[in-house]
Amino acid sequence: MSQQTVDDTATTPEFVGDHDIDPTTLDIIENTLENTRYEMDRVLETTAISPVIREQSDQFPLIADAQGRMVMGQFGSAIETIIDNASFGWDDLEEGDVVATNDPYMCAGAMSHTPDMLLLRPLFYEGERVGFSSQWGNLMDVGGKVPGSMPVKATTVFEEGMRLPPVKLYKGGDLDEELLETFTHNTRLPDHAEADIKALAAGTAAAEERVHELCDRFGRETYEEGCDAILDRTRDGMIDLINEFVPEGERYTFEDYVDDDGMGNGPIKLHLEIYREGDTVYLDWEGTDEQVPGTVNFLLNEKMFKMFTGVFLIMAFDPLLTFNDGYYDLFEVNLPSGTVIQPEFPAPLGNRLPMMSRQFDVLQATFSKLIDGFSVAGSYGTSPNFVYAGTDSEGNQFQMLEILYGGIPARPGADGLDGHSWWPLFRTVPAEYQEAYYPLTIDEYSTREDTGGAGQFRGGHGITKVYTFEEDGAITFQDDRAHTYPWGVDGGDHGQTSEKRIIRADGTEETLPSKVENVAVEAGDKLVFSTAGGGGMGDPLERDPETVAQEVRRGLVTEHQAREDYGVVVEDGAVDADATERRRGEIRDSRDELQEFDYGPLPDDETLAAQIAEERREFNNR
């Protein structure tokens, strides 16, 4: 299959349409709002004190119009749902108000677990509401049964920390100190929570200032017209993408699995069907498994999923097109109630990231079937969270929270990224930061060789991070892809699975499941945290031998994998051309027909379920 590649020369079309605004003014407004989005992040990162925000950038800004539609941002808007679930209405919003909530069920899952705190500021100009700015970020702790507020063994959301319904944290510009103190009092890190929440408010204030400047420059009516035009321009661009790349009339499905819920239940199936009628794309999750007792349930917001779908098409085929709420009417979504992507209250949601990431995999795989010449492989399958907490020998409490990364899948024309986040703007916490503020040493942070699936375009490799604990404490983490493999596509090989080991101070070793809660560690113990790779794409024998040899020299691919998977014979770091030609001929003559999808050596569902249940029993009885 020939591979469709991104057109780097694609440009956002000049657009005026029925709007009474000239193209230059429209571009100035759009680019100012885009820059403001990044300014909001910068204000937050330099004001917050928690490393998960300050160092890793786990936050998502947006700027919306007066109706609550996201004009510029990252994660889609839930403003309408938030206001509808508040004790006040749209007409009760005043200048200087800032609404706060961290309850996923009160925003239909737009932020998807209790550590995510969202602040929403209505924007007024000369007494008229002209929009909203919003920002949410991952707090270090909001209470609950375990440090970090992401338990593995919770069976209800009540065990996952304090939930704040939509309330006015600031009223007319005045902070409700008692409300903030009540919330932070229920966290293990009240100073962090207070500072980060105020930093989120500062981020929304930065957007308010820039919107005021635009209204000063062009007038309120022109600014509002510009927001409408930006939304309509994106909608028109999405119609073009749908008609060009999504064929009409045929239905395509794909299934993939989250390993387990951390309580012995799994594998957990996600099933998606996609088809197009006219300008509308239909996405149906019927056939997805029912919600599970553990915390991997993902309350998938319908608008957010529409945003994810549009972003896939935009980033694949026209990355200069702004994604926003303008195209949502072009997608019809069925999210069956009571499933793992639409669980019913009070289902736990704390470790929803395997399910969130897997729906990305399933979405892009279904599109890989649907769109001729465009394929994407499977990913490392989550955003692993790791928490180390305790009380040191001087009586001081400590709590570290970190997000780790893995192999991004191969895609048309390029390898997957090694050790990267699903979210493009996330970063790694520097080892120096962790060692300076927490009682541990980072012994290794490296790329896992041979973990990305072989292919004409290689899957991204996972990472290995080794921690030595300097104080007694407990660790909690969630990961995935320990039992299921990141699939390869169009002849590419599957990626490798994740692994976790504790090496005790006395030298004994213990293998851990991918999801554990409050495992005791002592000073001198080591944790070896290894994440999964991404799937490869295309025939590995079509990969440039010199590229393979270069990766051998860099320690990304072993000589064994180069020979067995790529058919490249590397001697002393250089390609043996004659031996490579012979080896590739041997592989071609002996191998079976290339697979459209390579899922790895998986047993049947019943056997895999038994393996997962037994692993959990053995761990619980250790």
- The 3-state secondary structure of 601-613, one letter per residue: CCCCHHHHHHHHH
3-state helix, strand, coil in the chain (%, to 5): 30, 20, 45
Low-confidence residues in the chain, pLDDT < 70: 1-17
Query: pTM for this one?
Result: 0.94
- Report d(CA 535, CA 495) in Å as an integer: 5
* 3-class secondary structure, 464: strand
Could you tell me which residues are beta bridge partners of residue 339? 290
- CB 424: neighbour CB atoms within 10 A? 10
546 burial level (CB within 10 Å; 0-12, 13-18, 19+): exposed
**In the prediction, which pLDDT does 193 show?**
98
For residue 552, which of 450, 445, 465 has the smallest C-alpha distance? 450
* 3-class secondary structure, 59: strand
Residue with tokens 């004001």: 47
Which residues are CB-contacts of 561 (< 8 A; sequence separation ≥ 6)? Answer: 449, 450, 454
- CB 464: neighbour CB atoms within 10 A? 18
| Tokens, residue 346 | 């009070």
Torsion of CA 484, 255, 344, 100, to 10 degrees: 80
Which residues are CB-contacts of 46 (< 8 A; sequence separation ≥ 6)? Answer: 54
Sheet strands (E) in 10-65: 59-64
Task: Please check whether residue 451 is in contact with residue 533, taking contact to mean a CB–CB distance below 8 angstroms.
Answer: yes
**In the prediction, which pLDDT does 58 show?**
92
592 burial level (CB within 10 Å; 0-12, 13-18, 19+): exposed
Determine which helix (DSSP H) or strand (DSSP E) holds 215, and give its type and residue range.
helix 190-218
What is the average pLDDT value for the chain, to the nearest integer?
95
- Report d(CA 587, CA 563) in Å as an integer: 10
- CB 347: neighbour CB atoms within 10 A? 22
In angstroms, what is the C-alpha Rg of the chain? 25
- Report d(CA 362, CA 155) in Å as an integer: 26
Could you tell me which residues are beta bridge partners of residue 174? 171
pLDDT in tens, 442-460: 999 999 999 999 999 999 9
For 325-344, give the DSSP string. Answer: GGGGGGEEEE--TTBTTSPP
**In the prediction, which pLDDT does 17 show?**
67
**In the prediction, which pLDDT does 18 show?**
83
Query: Would residue 34 be called left, alpha or beta, if left means φ above 0 and alpha means ψ between -120 and 50 degrees?
Result: alpha
Task: Please check whether residue 398 is in contact with residue 439, taking contact to mean a CB–CB distance below 8 angstroms.
Answer: yes
For 125-171, give the DSSP string. Answer: ETTEEEEEEEEEEE-S---SSSTTS--SS-SSGGGG-----SEEEEE
Q: Residue 350 half-sphere exposure, CB side, CA atoms within 13 Å?
A: 39
**In the prediction, which pLDDT does 410 show?**
96
For residue 537, which of 598, 472, 600, 465 has the smallest C-alpha distance? 598
- Report d(CA 483, CA 481) in Å as an integer: 5
Q: Which contacts (CB < 8 Å, 24+ apart) does range 429-436 have?
A: 429/51, 429/52, 429/55, 429/56, 429/402, 430/55, 433/51, 433/55, 434/51, 434/400, 434/402
Sheet strands (E) in 285-431: 331-334, 385-391, 397-403
Task: Please check whether residue 159 is in contact with residue 145, taking contact to mean a CB–CB distance below 8 angstroms.
Answer: yes
pLDDT in tens, 276-297: 999 999 999 999 999 999 999 9
**In the prediction, which pLDDT does 422 show?**
81
For 467-526, give the DSSP string. Answer: EEESS-EEEEEE---SSS---EETTPPPPPPPEEEEE-TTS-EEE--SEEEEEEE-TT-E
pLDDT in tens, 298-353: 999 999 999 999 999 999 999 999 999 999 999 999 999 999 999 999 999 999 99
Omega cis (within 30) before 346:
yes
Q: What is the DSSP letter of 219?
A: -
Q: Which contacts (CB < 8 Å, 24+ apart) does range 278-283 have?
A: 278/248, 279/239, 279/242, 279/243, 279/330, 280/330, 280/331, 280/332, 281/242, 281/246, 281/309, 281/330, 281/331, 281/332, 282/331, 282/332, 282/333, 282/334, 283/309, 283/331, 283/332, 283/333, 283/334, 283/363
Omega cis (within 30) before 267:
yes
* Domain ranges within the chain, ordered by starting residue: 23-237, 375-539
Task: Please check whether residue 513 is in contact with residue 483, taking contact to mean a CB–CB distance below 8 angstroms.
Answer: no
Q: What is the DSSP letter of 440?
A: E
Residue with tokens 């991952």: 138
pLDDT in tens, 489-547: 999 999 999 999 999 999 999 999 999 999 999 999 999 999 999 999 999 999 999 99
